[in-house]
């Protein structure tokens, strides 16, 4: 059985391996032993913390194959970004230049450095090992986060965002960043991305352009990738768009990839998820698969299974094996979402 659960300190080696496998552009998991151990400790504290208002909590889950005990994927949610470390974006805008005298009107696209998403929740750190990218495992891993959001809304910002990886080549070179490196930052993309992942973002405020950047003055290669996603990220973007996420004109300051957003109550899977009361017994046959989670926090568990669910009833029969995997008992509730 594949079970999603909170990460724990014993998962460090698996997380380090995932950080190595994830490659360039996966800022939330830099290959750094000290930072990854600190990240796990922060997550463990977040799952135990009483929260009245979201601040700087992080919730990182792992996907475990219970047959082998191997950790094969991760998914995470940040409660409220930018509350401790600055959270920068470029905001796309337009400046209008008009002269009646010469009868000319021009609209010029601009990029302005901002931190408008401070306090928003963030979907992040989604990774699944190649051999498990089948049987809707990736969809289950991604959508399980919406069950967690639906169950624990008070722990997250009202706006939920996701940063989409922008265009870069196999060596981590970004056409958008090349211009920044040449004229402002002076360090390569991989190093800047790594420092950002470490939370060492002071150089951004010191070295990034302070005024609006005119897009038309950028090299053509840089202009073309603004708001574009990496080929490997396209499926993730399609999934989020189906949930109601949209780009509102914010892009990543390094690779120009789009950031998408949605109000937590408008996310389709948050709205459509259901709470059902469990009866443990012989699980009826069904052709409909669901993402399923318990309603707990520190002992959060999620998986997928076929279930026989009625729109007229708030009860469901699950097998003893599924109940054990989800850590639920007779009469307790689960939250479900059609897969």
- pTM exceeds 0.85: yes
Among 201, 192, 186, which residue's Cα sits nearest to residue 172? 192
Would you state the pLDDT for residue 275? Answer: 97
Is 230 assigned a catalytic role? yes
Q: Residue 195: its pLDDT value, please?
A: 72
Residue 171, pLDDT > 90, answer no
Q: Between 209 and 133, name the one with better pLDDT.
A: 133
Fold entry, domain 274-338: Barwin-like endoglucanases (2.40.40)
Please answer whether residues 300 and 61 qualify as being in contact, where contact means their C-beta atoms are separated by less than 8 angstroms. Answer: yes
* 246 vs 172: CA distance, rounded Å: 26
Catalytic residue among 24, 89, 152, 230: 230
Residues 232-242 pLDDT 10s: 888 889 999 99
Contact 261, 245 (CB under 8 A): yes
| Whole-number pLDDT of residue 23 | 65
- With cut-offs at 50, 70 and 90, classify the pLDDT of residue 277: very high
- Which of 69-83, 111-125, 158-172 has the lowest average pLDDT? 158-172
Best CA proximity match to 2, nearest among 58, 59, 74, 60: 74
96: which 2 tokens?
Answer: 């209008």
Every domain of the chain and the residues it spans: 84-118+158-272, 274-338
């Amino acid at each position: 059985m594949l079970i999603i659960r909170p990460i724990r300190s014993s998962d460090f080696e698996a997380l380090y391996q995932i950080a190595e496998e994830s490659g360039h552009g996966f800022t939330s998991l830099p290959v750094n032993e000290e930072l990854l151990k600190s990240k796990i400790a922060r997550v463990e504290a977040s799952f135990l913390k009483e929260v009245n208002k979201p601040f700087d909590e992080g919730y990182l889950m792992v996907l475990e194959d219970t047959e082998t005990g191997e950790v094969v994927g991760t998914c995470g949610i940040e409660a409220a970004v930018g509350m401790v470390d600055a959270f920068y974006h470029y905001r796309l805008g337009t400046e209008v230049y008009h002269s009646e005298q010469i009868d000319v009107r021009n609209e010029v696209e601009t990029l302005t450095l901002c931190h408008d998403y401070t306090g928003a929740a963030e979907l992040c750190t989604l990774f699944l090992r190649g051999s498990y990218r089948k049987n809707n495992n990736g969809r289950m891993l991604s959508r399980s986060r919406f069950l967690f959001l639906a169950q624990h809304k008070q722990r997250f910002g009202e706006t939920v965002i996701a940063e989409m990886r922008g265009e870069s080549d196999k060596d981590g070179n970004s056409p958008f960043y090349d211009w920044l490196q040449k004229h402002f930052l002076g360090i390569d993309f991989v190093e800047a991305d790594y420092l950002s992942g470490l939370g060492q973002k002071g150089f951004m405020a010191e070295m990034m352009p302070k005024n609006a950047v005119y897009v038309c003055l950028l090299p053509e290669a840089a202009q073309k990738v603004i708001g574009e996603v990496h080929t490997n990220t396209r499926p993730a973007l399609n999934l989020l768009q189906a949930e109601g996420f949209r780009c509102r004109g914010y892009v990543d300051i390094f690779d120009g990839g789009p950031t998408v957003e949605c109000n937590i109550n408008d996310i389709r899977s948050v709205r459509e998820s259901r709470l059902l009361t469990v009866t443990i017994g012989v699980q009826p046959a069904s052709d409909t698969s669901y993402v399923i989670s318990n309603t707990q926090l520190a002992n959060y568990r999620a998986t997928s299974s076929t279930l026989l669910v009625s729109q007229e009833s708030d009860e469901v029969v699950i097998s003893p094996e599924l109940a054990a995997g989800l850590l639920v008992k007779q009469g307790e509730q689960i939250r479900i979402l059609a897969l």
